[in-house]
C-alpha cells in the first residue's frame, strides 16, 4: 500500500516548492567546497568567490575526501552535495603537487554533473590588497556587467567553454527590470594566451558625459587572478539538448478588472473598502486639548505649501481613458 505524505507545516512545504523544477528558473546557487588539501591561496580564492556570490551561495568549511570530479565515480559526492544544498554550480578547490591551486567548476543538471572545467589559479590578488574609494565598492547581489575580451573565447574550445561557465556563474538571476542607478560592478575576462584567462572584478564609476549615457570608468576592486585551463569535460549531445529546453511562451495571465469600451477606451475597475464612518473616533473638543492660535500658525508655516500634499493624494483615478 502507498500512503500520501505531505509536509506537516508551511515552512517545509514552501522549501520543497522552492526546490521543485520550475518553468522559468530563478538563478543558480553556487556551492563552494574544499578538497583534501587546499593551499592558502586557494582558501582565499574560495572565500572571495563566496563573497562575490554572497546571497546565492553555500560554503562548506570542512575538507572533503574522495572527490575526483574527472574520474569515474569520483563525482558521486558532488552530486549528493548538489542535491542536499540545491546548488547547481559547484566550485571545488584542491591542491596537489601535480595540479597546484586547482579549481574545478562543475555545473549540474537535475543534480547530475553536466560539465566540468578545471583551472589553475595564478597571480592571485586578494580584494584586501586593492585600495580604492570605499564609496565605490559594489553592493551585495547587484547585477554585474560581464565582459569577455580576446579572440581566444571564440576560437579555442576550452576557453569557449570557460566563457560559458563563467557567464553562468557570475550573471546572477535573470531579471526583467533593472535599476540603472544600481549598476556597480563589472567582471573583465581577458584571454591572455590560448590557455590562460585574466579575470578581474571591477567597480563601476559613472561620470557625466553630457548625453543620456554616462561615461563608464572601471576601478579595480579585486579579486583578480589568472585562470590556467587544465582539463575540461563537455556534456554529451543528448544531455545538452535536454538541458537547453526552454519553456514555450506561456499564455498571458487573465487581466482582471480591466475592460475595453468603444467610447471611453480602457476602463479599470477598482475596489474601495467601506469607509466605516460610524467607527471613527470623534475629535476631542475639551478645552484643555485645544491648540493656541499662534502655535497652529507656526506649524502650518513649517509644513510648507499644502498644494504638494494634495498631489500625492490624488493618485487614484477611477477611470483612465487612452
Partner 1 sequence: MEMENQQPFQIDLGNLMAFNPHHQYPSLSSSREDLVSECLQKGAELAQFIANDLFNLPSTEDRDGPLVRLPPPSTRLPREKPLPKPKPPTKWELFAKKRGIKNRKKDKIVYDDQTGSWKRRHGYDRANDEENIPIIEAKMTDEPGVDPFAARRANKKNRVEKQERNQLQNLKQAAKVGALPSHVQLAATALPITGTQAAPKKITKDELGNVAGMAATSTASGGKFDKKLAGEKPAKHQGKYRKFLPVVEGTGIGSQEREQTEKVLNRLISKNSHEILNINKAVNMYNVKKEKKQRNQRGKSSSMSSNKLKPNKKLQKKPLKKGSSKNGKAK
**Subset of 182-221 contacting partner 1 (CB under 8 A):** 182-183, 186, 188, 190-194, 198, 200, 202, 204, 212-218, 220
Binding status of residue 105 toward partner 1 by CB under 8 A: no
Complex with partner 1: residue 92 or 153, whichever CB lies closer: 153
Binding status of residue 102 toward partner 1 by CB under 8 A: no
> Within 297-316, which residues bind partner 1 (CB under 8 A)?
none
> Within 20-59, which residues bind partner 1 (CB under 8 A)?
20-23, 25, 28
Q: What is residue 235's DSSP assignment? A: P
Binding status of residue 154 toward partner 1 by CB under 8 A: yes
Binding status of residue 140 toward partner 1 by CB under 8 A: no
Complex with partner 1: residue 17 or 55, whichever CB lies closer: 17
CB of 202 to partner 1, least distance (A): 7
Q: Kindly state the cell numbers that stand for 57.
A: 551561495
CB of 301 to partner 1, least distance (A): 27
Q: What is residue 26's DSSP assignment? A: -
Residue pointed to by grid coordinates 511562451: 249
Residue pointed to by grid coordinates 592558502: 40
> Within 64-93, which residues bind partner 1 (CB under 8 A)?
72-74, 76, 88
Q: Kindly state the cell numbers that stand for 189.
A: 575576462
Q: Which residues contact 300 (CB under 8 A, 6 or more apart)?
A: none
> Within 244-283, which residues bind partner 1 (CB under 8 A)?
244-247
Q: Which residues contact 233 (CB under 8 A, 6 or more apart)?
A: 70, 115, 116
Range in contact with partner 1 (rule: CB under 8 A) among 32-40, 98-106, 150-158, 287-295: 150-158
CB of 286 to partner 1, least distance (A): 41
Complex with partner 1: residue 43 or 123, whichever CB lies closer: 123
Q: Which residues contact 172 (CB under 8 A, 6 or more apart)?
A: 27, 56, 141, 143, 144
Q: What is residue 10's DSSP assignment? A: H
Residue 222 near residue 201, CB atoms below 8 Å: yes
CA 81, 83, 85, 91: dihedral to nearest 10 degrees? Answer: 50
Please tell me the count of residues contacting partner 1 according to CB under 8 A: 85
How far apart, in whole angstroms, are the C-alpha atoms of residue 24 and residue 177?
15
Residue 36 near residue 65, CB atoms below 8 Å: yes
- Kindly tell me which residue out of 37, 141, 174, 258 binds partner 1, with binding defined by CB under 8 A: 174
CB of 221 to partner 1, least distance (A): 11
CB of 76 to partner 1, least distance (A): 6
How far apart, in whole angstroms, are the C-alpha atoms of residue 139 and residue 179?
13
CB of 101 to partner 1, least distance (A): 18
Amino acid at each position: 500500500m502507498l500512503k500520501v505524505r505531505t509536509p506537516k507545516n508551511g515552512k517545509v512545504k514552501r522549501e520543497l516548492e522552492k526546490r521543485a523544477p520550475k518553468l522559468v528558473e530563478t538563478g543558480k546557487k553556487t556551492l563552494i567546497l574544499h578538497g583534501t588539501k587546499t593551499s592558502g591561496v586557494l582558501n582565499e580564492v574560495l572565500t572571495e568567490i563566496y563573497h562575490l556570490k554572497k546571497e546565492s551561495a553555500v560554503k562548506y568549511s570542512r575538507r572533503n575526501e574522495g572527490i575526483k570530479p574527472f574520474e569515474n565515480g569520483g563525482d558521486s559526492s558532488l552530486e549528493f552535495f548538489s542535491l542536499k544544498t540545491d546548488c547547481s554550480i559547484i566550485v571545488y578547490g584542491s591542491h596537489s603537487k601535480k595540479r597546484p591551486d586547482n579549481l574545478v567548476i562543475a555545473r549540474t543538471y537535475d543534480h547530475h554533473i553536466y560539465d566540468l572545467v578545471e583551472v589553475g589559479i595564478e597571480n592571485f590578488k586578494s580584494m584586501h590588497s586593492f585600495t580604492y574609494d570605499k564609496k565605490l565598492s559594489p553592493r551585495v547581489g547587484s547585477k554585474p556587467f560581464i565582459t569577455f575580451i580576446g579572440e581566444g573565447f571564440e576560437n579555442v574550445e576550452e576557453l569557449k567553454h570557460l566563457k560559458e561557465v563563467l557567464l553562468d556563474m557570475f550573471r546572477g538571476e535573470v531579471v526583467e527590470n533593472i535599476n540603472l542607478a544600481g549598476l556597480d560592478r563589472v567582471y573583465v575576462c581577458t584571454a591572455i594566451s590560448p590557455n590562460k584567462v585574466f579575470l578581474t572584478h571591477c567597480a563601476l564609476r559613472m561620470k557625466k558625459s553630457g548625453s543620456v549615457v554616462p561615461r563608464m570608468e572601471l576601478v579595480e576592486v579585486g579579486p583578480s587572478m589568472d585562470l590556467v585551463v587544465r582539463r575540461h569535460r563537455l556534456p554529451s549531445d543528448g544531455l545538452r539538448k535536454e538541458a537547453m529546453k526552454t519553456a514555450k511562451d506561456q499564455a498571458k495571465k487573465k487581466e482582471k478588472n480591466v475592460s475595453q469600451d468603444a467610447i471611453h477606451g480602457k476602463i479599470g475597475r477598482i475596489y474601495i473598502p467601506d469607509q466605516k464612518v460610524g467607527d471613527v473616533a470623534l475629535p476631542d473638543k475639551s478645552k484643555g486639548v485645544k491648540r493656541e492660535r499662534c502655535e497652529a500658525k507656526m506649524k502650518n508655516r513649517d509644513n510648507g505649501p499644502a498644494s504638494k500634499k494634495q498631489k500625492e493624494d490624488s493618485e487614484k483615478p477611477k477611470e483612465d481613458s487612452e
